[in-house]
Amino acid sequence: MKLGRDVEIAVIGTGFAGIAVAYYLCTEYQKKSVLLIDSRQPMSYTSAKSGDNYRNWFPHPIMVDFINYSTDLMECIALESPDVMQMTRRGYALTTRRTDIDDLIAGLHAGYGDAESDLIRIHSGPSSNSYQPIDAADWTAAPNGVDVMSNQDLIRRTFPSFSPEVAHVLHIRRAGAIDGQQMGQYMLQRIKQSGGKRLSAHVRSIGQQQRFELEVEGPDGIEQINADVIVNAAGPFADEIAAMIGVDLPLKNVYQQKLAFDDQHGAISRQLPFSLDLDDQELNWTDEERDLLADDPDMAWLLKPILGGAHCRPDGGDKRTWVKLGWAFNRESSEPQQELANDPHFNPNFPELILRATARLNPSLQRYSETFPSSWTHYGGYYPMTNENWPLIGPLGVDGAFVIGALSGYGCMAACAAGAICAAWITDGNLPDYATQLSLARYDDEKLMTEILNSPSKGIL
């Protein structure tokens, strides 16, 4: 083994989490000796599968504040470098056919907390002139909060492609998409300019003497890295890294899938926001298909109602033709696989399922169930998450060790705030009021844990 180099801070993992914490350590706190370690290319594991959507719609005010902070930070980068972020703000259009939406309104009040009266706008009467239409070209002009649209004329005018069955739309306005890969590359460039370094290697073990001793394996063999501080940003493998220093992380990994395809027929308007069907649904099989599915024990579940959440959005800007569809209906956790497509929950029938499911909200997609798109990709990745679906950011329970993880299905939108908060923990910088609740210390707060574990929604999309 090569006797290794000394660094002040070793960050394990170069997905959104590792890159973001290194970015704030180098740029905000002027740390000069930061080493990012990963055997993969940056942003090539979970972070490569992100839909790159963001929204400040979560079921608890702490999560809303956290994502608002992250959005503020993303906006700073977008203003500094608009070509990098490609930030849009068409919002999230959450749709339902139900007549009674009291629980959804209660969820909005719970999430927006004290700011609710300013942020929740109800449009139900015959004239709903106060609705501010979408202007994605200028995200800085978009309003905050949510427009609850119960006026049928307004819904049809604003979202003509939606099924006429849709009775209400909750249009979350501080929401949209960014180019996550570009954001990561931008941060990496700034890390490099500030003296931060990368090492292509896998961390095999971590010893603890006066400092942390990381045994890493790279293309040149095995090496030792000595570090004062370690940051566990290993995504789905964060529990493996924590176990190396004797810490048990409450982390599970849940596999979710996406379909991206070339919408050659222009079925989806390039102006459509991220549009999500909140209603559970039974897929519309033919009688013959029903019989076949009923005979197959692995497939029979497809005849039952499936959780709401099928979603769709145009991808890659107004001049392109691709569309991304997703549906995070899986709730079973898995052992993370090195090859993401090897997960047992990777379902070869997902493209067909998701096309059928999203056509219920946007009937123009039905044509692709009849004639499958000619160019498409089906892929999946893990939501590394806690049971309550809150992140883990902060001290790891061993002096000098920190974690930034459990970023679930919101790690792209949360990366900036998670990175800034983790960097502040490491350097004794300024922490937001809620930082402790996002760290492992929240498990000592019985009242908070009972509240968030019993919440009717965990904010999983």
Which residues are at the interface with ligand FAD (CB under 6 A)? 12-18, 37-40, 45-47, 49-54, 202-203, 233-237, 241, 256, 258, 380-383, 405, 407-413
Q: Name the H helices within 147-233.
A: 152-158, 180-193
Least distance between ligand FAD and beta carbon 165 (Å): 26
Rounded least distance, CB 234 to ligand FAD, Å: 4
Distances (CA, A) of 408 to 46, 235, 277: 10, 9, 20
Comparing CB distances to ligand FAD, the nearer of 52 and 179 is 52
Closer of 19 and 142 to ligand FAD (Cβ): 19
29-53 burial string, b = 16+ CB within 10 Å, else e? bebebbbbbbeeebbebbbbbbbbb
Q: Which is nearer to ligand FAD, 155 or 406 (CB)?
A: 406
User: Is the CB of 148 or the CB of 328 nearer to ligand FAD?
Assistant: 328
DSSP string, 51-63: --EEE---SSHHH
Closest CA to 53 of 103, 87, 98, 21: 87
The residues pairing with 170 across neighbouring beta strands, listed in sequence order, are 94, 148
Q: Dihedral sign, CA of 44, 70, 191, 187? A: positive
Structure tokens at 378: 């089906």
For residue 16, the minimal CB distance to ligand FAD (Å) is 4
DSSP conformation class of 199: E
In angstroms, give the least distance from the CB of 48 to ligand FAD.
7
Of how many residues is the chain composed? 461
Smallest separation, CB 325 to ligand FAD (Å): 11
**Nearest distance, CB of residue 59 and ligand FAD, angstroms:** 16
Q: What are phi and psi of 53, to 5 degrees?
A: -95, 155
Contact 371, 264 (CB under 8 A): no
State the Cα–Cα distance between residues 224 and 10, nearest whole angstrom: 12
**Beta pairing class for 322-326 and 252-262:** antiparallel
Nearer Cβ to ligand FAD (154/384): 384
State in angstroms the smallest separation of the CB of 405 from ligand FAD.
5
Minimal distance, residue 451 CB to ligand FAD, in Å: 23
Identify which of 410, 451, 386 has the alpha carbon closest to the alpha carbon of residue 239.
Answer: 386
Q: Which residues of 421-440 are buried (b: 16+ CB within 10 A; e: fewer)?
A: bbbbbbbeeebbebbbbbbb
CA 287 to centroid of chain Cα atoms: 37
For ligand FAD, which is the closer residue by CB, 54 or 425?
Answer: 54
Q: Between residues 25 and 413, which has the closer beta carbon with respect to ligand FAD?
A: 413
Query: Minimum CB separation from ligand FAD for residue 243, in Å?
Result: 11
Residue 154 vs 261, nearer CB to ligand FAD: 261
Look at residue 376 and give its three-state secondary structure.
Answer: strand
Of the candidates 114, 115, 176, 106, which has an alpha carbon nearest to the alpha carbon of residue 148?
106
Query: Cβ of residue 460: shortest distance to ligand FAD, in angstroms?
Result: 11
Question: Closer CB to ligand FAD, residue 37 or residue 101?
Answer: 37
For ligand FAD, give the closer residue by CB, 101 or 238.
Answer: 238
Dmax over CA atoms of the chain, in Å, equals 75
172 contacts: CB under 8 Å, gap ≥ 6: 55, 56, 57, 91, 92, 93, 94, 146
Please report how close the Cβ of residue 206 comes to ligand FAD at its closest, in angstroms: 9
Rank residues 155 and 260 by Cβ distance to ligand FAD and give the closer one. 260
Q: Is 262 exposed, middle or buried (0-12, 13-18, 19+ CB in 10 A)?
A: middle
